[in-house]
Amino acid sequence: MVKAMQIKRFGGPEVFQMVSCPDAPLAEDSVRIEVKACGVNFADLMMRMGLYPEAPRLPFVPGYEIAGIVSEVGSEVQGLELGTSVLAGTYFGGYTSSVVLPSVQVARVPEGLSFVQAASIPVNFLTAWVALHEMGRVRKEDRVLIPSAAGGVGIAAVQIAAQAGACVTGLVGSEAKKEAVKALGAHEVFTYEEHEKNSKTYELILNASGGRSLKQDFKKLVPAGRLVGYGASQLVQGSRRSWWKAGCMLLQSPLFSPLWMENRGVFGLNLLKYLEDPSARLLLQVFLHTILERFQEGSFQTLVGKTFPLQEAADAHRYLQSRENIGKIVLISET
């Protein structure tokens, strides 16, 4: 039997319930993975609160990324054997002790990385890679602004942008987080309060908050600058869904007209859409292998802020929502 943390109703972290369910059937092109660790993301908080439109119908198991050991292989799968240590992106369902995934979504864990470290890679590094390289087209000497630079996507984005030769400015919520971000390659790091007082402009800005901040960031772009929005963390303030907050955020979000954008570009990034399209899924796998090669070379590193047992997913959500973490939050499945 498979153990999983399921959401049966929307609400605060207390809605999680541990459930047991039968093993999923194994398709010819799939592998079964004994999950050792799974990553926790802000999107998981939003779907738990009922603010994530792509989430499955209740009840469902959240989770977008896992690491573990291949325990069964489909007849058409090549290159993955029993006992192989792997990591993978999941289309929901990651908070579990065992999962069946198409082999195209699965990759070997680079040597020297633990399962916890491996589970912290797929969502954050792929989001940052697509935002910076595919959409933002980051270039040498670009001035790049990265919010939540001590969070999961932030620690990936700082490294990717810095290694592309960009001049990286990181934003953090407290003084205590600055040194960790600088060590990853940021040229300068400010708290949000400090950054509000300056008038810097940028070639490329990432935005994780949504709402009014999109308009504020758009004004900081130079001509031909690019703004990439990849989140709506502004919605995750309390522990429960608030339609009033969601409505206010929607009203505060700017409408961008092509005639008035003054030669500046705006992109919206939803990594989930890559998993929904077969050709895009293959492209995502190419990006992931490139990222994992950088880990194998020692060019990239991941920071894990804290781990929790799978059954304590509620506490992991509370901690992530507190925004105290430096690095990724990971659940450990004790199978």
pLDDT greater than 60 at residue 322? yes
pLDDT greater than 80 at residue 239? no
- Of 64, 32, 31, the C-alpha closest to 47 is 64
pLDDT greater than 70 at residue 238? no
pLDDT greater than 90 at residue 258? no
Q: What is the pLDDT of residues 102-161, one digit of tens each?
A: 998 999 999 999 999 999 999 999 999 999 999 999 999 999 999 999 999 999 999 999
By the 8 A CB rule, do 129 and 103 touch? no
pLDDT band at 170 (very low <50, low <70, confident <90, very high): very high
Q: What is the pLDDT of residues 211-221, one digit of tens each?
A: 788 889 999 99
Under CATH, to which class is 2-121+272-332 assigned? Answer: alpha beta
Of the candidate CATH numbers 3.40.50.300, 3.20.20.140, 3.30.365.10, 3.40.50.720, the domain formed by 124-268 belongs to: 3.40.50.720
The domains of the chain are located at 2-121+272-332, 124-268
Q: Please classify residue 318 by burial: count the beta carbons closer than 10 Å to its beta carbon, then call 0-12 exposed, 13-18 middle and 19+ buried.
A: middle
**Which pLDDT value is given to residue 251?**
46
Per-position b or e across 62-99, b if 16+ CB within 10 A of its CB: bbbbbbbbbbebbeebeebeeebbbbbbbbbbbbbbbb
Mean model confidence pLDDT for the chain = 91
pTM: 0.92
